[in-house]
Amino acid sequence: MKLSEIHFEETKQRLKGSIAPVITPFTEDDSLDLETLRELVNWHIDSGSHGISVTGTTGEPSSLTLEEREQVMETAISAVAGRVPFVPGTGSTNHLETLHLTKAAQEMGADAAMVIVPYYNKPSQHALFKHFKAVAQAVDIPLIVYNIPGRTGVNLEAKTLARLNEDCPNIIGVKESNKDFEHVNRVLLNCGRDFLLFSGIELLCYPMLAIGGKGYISATANVLPGKVAEVYNAWEAGNVEEAMQLHYELMPLNDVLFRDTNPAPVKAALGMMGKIKPRLRLPMDVPAKSIQEEIRTVLNSYGLLNQVRSES
């Protein structure tokens, strides 16, 4: 086995549990708020998150310039400081941008890179295979493919993923934001049980562990990182009933955080909790007032707003 392949296998052993997809905070004038980003990363790690990701869907990558995406990655990896694995999102609708960002992630020392199925242009399965294979061959960093058909307009089929897994040793896993549970079962059937399967659908985080998933990359971790991480901890310890109880305990929060397009409700929630200024760049915006009231009610039911009052 080559040294690089040994490295890929070692990385596979480390990537598990709740990898938090941290939001990108902005200031009042919509500039990057990198100091708050550092604070959020530290809070996640202190709360028990098993890994950190940035500039995935929850990080609003399409609202950032290439330079800003690199700034966010560099700030986050500096804050992580090797304490947990760091897996930035480096994909784009543009192939050359994807190559640039994935190479940048490798150069700054990321543990792996998460590469989304290109959005808007709806490539064929043949084109997707060529795209991901070209990215994999251009770098020597482990890759996690990110399949989110609700955002991209196309599903990366299990057989296409299996071809990539066979041809590209550094494609070690997939984040599946696909509500089709039959599909995610077939991912492991076609790619093998050692292929890393992460859930990107909140209500499937627990069920995917049951079929052999290694963890999840859940937007809800932005609001309640400790509790989200505990689901995996309980499962890993063999406490199935506790993991299931936590799964259902989180459902009201999961539901309200997707009453509008992610990450708008998450940022609204973090604003109410005093963690960030709840800013999104247009064309995104904070949720309508009625949804914000729903968010406030749910946060209060979890005691998250009591913490803000006690600290103020």
Spatial separation of the C-alpha atoms in residues 110 and 114, rounded to whole Å: 10
The tens digit of pLDDT for each residue in 39-87 reads 999 999 999 999 999 999 999 999 999 999 999 999 999 999 999 999 9
pTM: 0.95
pLDDT for residue 310 is more than 90: no
Q: Which of 175, 227, 267, 275 is catalytic?
A: 175
225-236 helix and 240-256 helix, angle to the nearest 10 degrees: 150
Candidates 3.40.50.1240, 1.10.340.30, 3.30.160.100, 3.20.20.70; CATH matching 3-302: 3.20.20.70
Query: How far is it, in rounded angstroms, from Cα 137 to Cα 201?
Result: 29
Query: pLDDT tens, 96-154?
Result: 999 999 999 999 999 999 999 999 999 999 999 999 999 999 999 999 999 999 999 99
> How many CB atoms within 10 Å of residue 5?
11
Of the residues 146, 206, 216, 232, only one is catalytic, namely: 146
175 given a catalytic annotation: yes
**pLDDT the model gives residue 2:** 58
Cα 307 → chain centroid: 26
> Was 148 annotated as part of a binding site?
no
Question: Which of 84, 58, 59, 94 lies closest to 73, judged by CA?
Answer: 59
Per domain, the residue ranges of the chain are: 3-302
Active-site residue, 146 included: yes
Residue 58 counted as an annotated binding residue: yes
CB 216 within 8 A of CB 177: no
